[in-house]
């Protein structure tokens, strides 16, 4: 996320200008200082906060913590969706993460600010204070979807109480296990997987690494495509939250049903020419009819694998829709702690 900074005094603006430049953000000041300092002004603190909050920007207040708390209070929802909020005094002595320290990245932003000012980062989240692995931070950094917020809290609570937590991954993870994690079966546990499962007391972390290769007849409705995709995912035992993109041939780039499906699932559509698909290496399910229409013997499998990976589910066909699913292995690692 980009950073939006606000200062309230001339001294605060001097520090804010330096921080905003270093963090790639923008600084706003009171109208009375705007022209003098050649900086954009804000109409009201309430309006400024609302606009940048809705835009999903990290918020940096150069001034008293109380000002920041009152400004953001009406907008606070939960730790998994709130942006980072950090306050730093205008002398730069103390940077304080006020909201969304882990998932939103306020702790990281706070550390950056402290490094820039030479001050202290006043971080108070329990796992950081105790030097423990934080599942929500690791999931964010690795691009993993947290499937159960309550279980995520249970994992952190267990580690804070000195209890072991099991850890398993369907994919390689480089680096040593952090303190408190165990590779043997221990509950509660964390499991990194793209697959659907009902493991008790186990938090699944899902890599967003699946590509759906899709082909369809002209005029196929979005509902038919959704039905075919869901059936394919269910057959493969894969969680829909693991899907990162839909891929197809460029002939379908403007297919209304396919575009509507992608919008409904908030998935990007990647399109390739017949030549690009034909160049994808591998053994694919050929179709003379598909070749006659598109110029390539298979669309869905080749499109799913265009950016590399492993084919988890070969071509599934029905009701004018073909679906194949490929996985790009995530790059997972533990930092030394």
> How many Cβ atoms from other residues are within 10 Å of residue 234's Cβ?
11
Q: What is the mean pLDDT of residues 181-206?
A: 95
The token pair at 179 is 């303190």
CA distance 269 to 246: 5
- In this structure, what DSSP letter does residue 27 have? E
Amino acid 79: pLDDT: 76
Label residue 104 by pLDDT band (50, 70, 90): confident
For 71-95, write each residue's pLDDT tens digit: 999 999 887 788 999 999 999 999 9
What is the set of domains in the chain, with CATH numbers? 3-124 (3.40.50.11220), 135-207 (3.40.1390.40), 210-327 (3.30.420.180)
Strand partners, 7: 62
Phi, psi of 215 (to 5 degrees): -125, 150
Q: Which DSSP string do the residues of 292-321 spell out, in sequence order? A: HHHSSS-SHHHHHTTT--EEEEEEEEETTE
Which pairing describes strands 165-169 and 94-99: parallel, antiparallel, or unpaired?
unpaired
Q: What is the mean pLDDT of residues 276-284?
A: 95
As a whole number, the mean pLDDT across the chain is: 93
Percent of the chain's residues with pLDDT above 70: 99
Label residue 337 by pLDDT band (50, 70, 90): very low
Lowest model confidence (mean pLDDT) among 40-44, 129-133, 159-163: 129-133
**Which residue has 């953000």 as its token pair?**
25
Relative orientation angle of helices 106-117 and 10-23, to the nearest 10 degrees = 110
Amino acid 128: pLDDT: 76
Q: What is the mean pLDDT of residues 113-127?
A: 89
Residue 224 has pLDDT above 50, yes or no: yes
CA distance 57 to 59: 6
CA distance 84 to 123: 13
First to last CA, the chain: 26
**Which residue has 């952190």 as its token pair?**
156
Residue 333 has pLDDT above 70, yes or no: yes
Label residue 1 by pLDDT band (50, 70, 90): low
């Amino acid at each position: 996320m980009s950073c939006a900074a606000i200062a309230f005094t001339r001294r605060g603006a001097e520090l804010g200008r330096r921080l905003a430049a270093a963090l790639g953000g923008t600084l706003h000041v009171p109208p009375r200082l705007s022209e003098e300092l050649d900086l954009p002004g804000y109409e009201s603190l309430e309006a400024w906060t609302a606009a940048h909050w809705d835009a999903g920007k990290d918020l940096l207040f150069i001034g008293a913590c109380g000002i920041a708390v009152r400004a953001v209070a009406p907008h606070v929802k939960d730790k998994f969706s709130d942006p980072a909020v950090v306050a730093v005094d205008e002398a730069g002595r103390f940077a304080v993460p006020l909201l969304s320290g882990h998932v939103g990245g306020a702790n990281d932003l706070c550390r950056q600010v402290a490094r820039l000012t030479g001050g202290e980062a006043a971080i108070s989240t329990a796992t950081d204070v105790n030097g423990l692995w934080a599942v929500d931070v690791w999931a964010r950094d690795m691009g993993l979807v947290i499937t159960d917020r309550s279980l995520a809290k249970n994992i952190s609570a267990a580690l804070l109480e000195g209890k072991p937590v099991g850890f398993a991954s369907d994919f390689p993870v480089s680096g040593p296990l952090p303190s408190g994690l165990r590779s043997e079966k221990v509950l509660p546990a964390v499991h990194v997987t793209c697959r659907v499962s009902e493991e008790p007391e186990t938090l699944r972390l899902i890599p967003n690494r699946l590509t759906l290769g899709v082909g369809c007849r002209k005029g196929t409705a979005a509902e038919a495509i959704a039905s075919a995709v869901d059936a394919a995912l269910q057959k493969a035992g894969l969680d829909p939250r693991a899907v990162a993109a839909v891929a197809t041939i460029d002939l379908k780039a403007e297919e209304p049903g396919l575009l509507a499906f992608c919008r409904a699932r908030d998935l990007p559509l990647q399109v390739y020419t017949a030549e690009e698909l034909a160049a994808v290496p591998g053994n694919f399910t050929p179709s003379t009819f598909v070749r006659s229409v598109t110029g390539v013997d298979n669309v869905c499998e080749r499109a799913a694998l265009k950016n590399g990976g492993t084919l988890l589910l070969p071509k599934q066909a029905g009701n004018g829709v073909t679906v194949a699913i490929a996985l790009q292995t995530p790059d997972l690692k533990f930092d030394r702690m």
